[in-house]
A and B are shown apart, each in its own frame.
Chain A
């Protein structure tokens, strides 16, 4: 299994500002995924981040709002830009395991005020 560390674990931010979330994995992985979990809801995939290429965004998510970096095989960042209260969610980083399963970080609990 992979060990995934996310920072920060939580933050309270002012509307209009941006927050960058970091995801560090203890092994090299090709594919990393960013999910959003809005309060009381399930997880929705934001984008897939592969090293050496631009992230692939799901319907409803755009690069200007959620820019992603993937500088190497163990690290990625997700930025939530120009935040509004509707962006208050848990953001989770995920990687694919050796088989079919996925592993998740502890998540970043974001509150926008």
Chain B
């Protein structure tokens, strides 16, 4: 079956530090990959996506590249801000699976001054 594995948190960084949150997946076929962000007390927001191998999704300074050879979709940001403090979820879906999302466990990020 499909699964997503994320690095465990919480992750605590100083402002302007470099961020990497690892995500690897197991899936049949060719899934689409996503990063969602959940700010405190809010629902999920789509941060970025990639739909095929070697695609790079980017948004708000965050990037992730779909690596089929390593089945990975690591999230990176060059310089984090306090406002980036949130929980980040890696997820996958594929058309053959009815477009259902399979989520990782989430990684809490805390950015301090």
Interface residues of A (CB under 8 A from B): 6, 31, 33, 35, 41-45, 48, 56, 92, 94, 96, 99-107
Interface residues of B (CB under 8 A from A): 32, 34, 36, 42-46, 49, 51, 89, 93, 95, 98-101, 103-106
Across-interface contacts of B99 in A (CB, < 8 A): 31, 96, 100, 102
Closest to B105 in A: A42
User: What are 13 A-B pairs at a CB distance below 8 A?
Assistant: A6-B43, A33-B100, A41-B105, A43-B44, A43-B101, A45-B101, A48-B98, A48-B100, A92-B43, A99-B51, A101-B32, A102-B101, A104-B36
Across-interface contacts of B95 in A (CB, < 8 A): 100
Q: How far is the CA of A100 from the CA of B100 in the complex (A)?
A: 10
Q: How far is the CA of A96 from the CA of B49 in the complex (A)?
A: 14
Across-interface contacts of B104 in A (CB, < 8 A): 42
Q: How far is the CA of A96 from the CA of B95 in the complex (A)?
A: 11
Shortest C-beta distance, B24 to chain A (Å), equals 15
Q: How far is the CA of A23 from the CA of B71 in the complex (A)?
A: 34
Across-interface contacts of A44 in B (CB, < 8 A): 103
A42 pairs with B106, CB closer than 8 A: yes
Q: How far is the CA of A106 from the CA of B103 in the complex (A)?
A: 17
Closest to A94 in B: B101
Q: How far is the CA of A103 from the CA of B101 in the complex (A)?
A: 11
Q: How far is the CA of A7 from the CA of B54 in the complex (A)?
A: 40
Q: How far is the CA of A56 from the CA of B99 in the complex (A)?
A: 13
Q: A42-B105, A102-B99 are known; give 13 further A-B pairs, CB within 8 A.
A: A33-B100, A35-B101, A43-B44, A45-B101, A92-B43, A92-B44, A100-B49, A100-B99, A102-B101, A104-B45, A105-B43, A106-B43, A107-B43
Do A101 and B103 contact each other (CB < 8 Å), given the known contacts A42-B89, A43-B89, A48-B98? no
A101 pairs with B49, CB closer than 8 A: yes
B100 pairs with A43, CB closer than 8 A: no
Do A100 and B105 contact each other (CB < 8 Å), given the known contacts A43-B89, A107-B43? no
Across-interface contacts of A99 in B (CB, < 8 A): 51
